[in-house]
Amino acid sequence: MLTSPSGEQAQPTASPLLEIANVMVHLYKDAFGRGPSKTRAQFSGSDALVVLLEDMMTIAERQLVALGEQARVREQRLFLQLALEDKKRSEVERILGRRALACVSGTDPDRDVAAEVFLLEPHPAGNERHACLEVLM
């Protein structure tokens, strides 16, 4: 049985990408007080993973955006996204069995969307398991 970032027991999922999306929801919820309502993870080529998180801002952040304070929301979000970087990387590495070489985070407050992009270590030669995962995605 898997353990979520909040320490809860979680059922194993059929898809590593679904598991990554679910983990990111939990990490965002723990850090921001509210998780996104829509999240998806997908490979972009063989060594890049993109996680998109939508409808994730708090009521206070939405009010700041309505007042024209997008830069303030973006700065606050980026600070917390960076504070979570080690946790995000370790979860991606655990789920995929590949080292995450880089993590790039961004937020668009006007569209209420965030992105987490991971650059992954290239596949070890002859590792059929991960090659099959990418073909199925």
pLDDT digit string (tens) for 32-62?
Answer: 899 999 999 999 999 999 999 999 999 999 9
Mean pLDDT of the chain: 87
pLDDT at position 2 over 60: no
Angle between helices 70-83 and 16-32 (to 10 degrees): 120
Assess whether pLDDT exceeds 90 at residue 13. Answer: no
Strands 48-54 vs 9-10: parallel, antiparallel or unpaired: unpaired
**Token duo for residue 36:** 């996104």
CA 39 to CA 61: how far, in whole Å? 19
* Cα(70)–Cα(94) distance, integer angstroms: 34
Any idea of the CA torsion for 71, 74, 79, 80, to the nearest 10 degrees? 150
Query: Would you place residue 124 in the very low, low, confident or very high pLDDT band (cuts 50, 70, 90)?
Result: confident
- The H or E element spanning position 50 is strand 48-54
| pTM flag (> 0.95) | no
Backbone torsions φ then ψ of 53, nearest 5 degrees: -125, 125
What is the pLDDT at residue 103? 97
Task: Measure the CA–CA gap between 106 and 19, rounded to whole angstroms.
Answer: 21
